[in-house]
Amino acid sequence: MSKKQKFTLEFKVRCSPTILFEFLSTPSGLQEWFADKVDVWEDIWSFTWSGGVPEKATVLEEDHDEFIRYRWTTMDKAEYFEFRIAKTEISNQTILVITDFAEKNDIKDQTQLWEYQVKELFHRLGS
C-alpha cells in the first residue's frame, strides 16, 4: 500500500462560523451536503451514499466553531479528514479549510469531489 499525501483546500464562506460548524459537525448538517444519510451510534459515524454500504468514521478531535477531525475506520492511523474554520486577518472573512489524504495520482480527482461537495454546502447555506 502506497503512502497517501496530505492536501488542503480553502474556500471563502459567507456565513457565521457557528452556522457553518453545524453543517460540518452534526448528522443533520452533514446530511444536507456531504452524504445522503448520516447516523451516529456509540461514537461511530455512518455515512451512506446512494443507498450503498455505510462508510464508518470516528471523530478524532473537535473544538466547537473551530474545527472537527474525522478518520474513516479503514484509514491508516496517521490519516484523517478535517474541516477547519478560519478568519482572514484583514477582512475577517470566514474560510473553510479542508484537509484530506489521497494517493498522489488521485489528488486532482479528490479535489474535484471536494469542490463539488462544497458547492452543495454553499447552496444549502445560501452562500
| Domain tally, the chain | 1
Taking Cα atoms as reference points, which of 42, 43, 39, 75 lies closest to residue 54?
39
pLDDT at 73: 96
Q: H/E element holding 10?
A: strand 5-13
Mean pLDDT of 14-24: 94
pLDDT at 2: 53
Burial class (CB within 10 angstroms; exposed 0-12, middle 13-18, buried 19+) of 59: middle
Half-sphere exposure of 1 (CA within 13 A, CB side): 7
pLDDT at 24: 98
Task: Look at 1 and 37; give whichever has higher pLDDT.
Answer: 37
| Cα gap 97→86, rounded to integer Å | 7
pLDDT at 55: 97
Q: What confidence tier does 63 reach under pLDDT thresholds 50, 70, 90?
A: very high
Mean pLDDT of 91-95: 90
Range of the domain at 63: 5-125
What b/e string do you get for 83-119 counting C-beta neighbours within 10 Å, with b at 16 or more?
bbbeeeeeeeebebebebbbeeeebeebeeebeeebe
Q: Is the pLDDT of residue 70 over 90?
A: yes
Residue 45: CB atoms within 10 A of its CB come to 21
CATH no. for residue 45? Answer: 3.30.530.20
The number of angstroms, rounded, from the C-alpha of 15 to the middle of its chain's C-alpha atoms is 17
Per cent of the chain over pLDDT 70 is 98
What pTM, to 2 d.p., does this model score? 0.92
| Cα gap 29→20, rounded to integer Å | 9
Q: Is the pLDDT of residue 46 over 80?
A: yes
Per cent of the chain over pLDDT 90 is 91
Q: Is the pLDDT of residue 1 over 80?
A: no
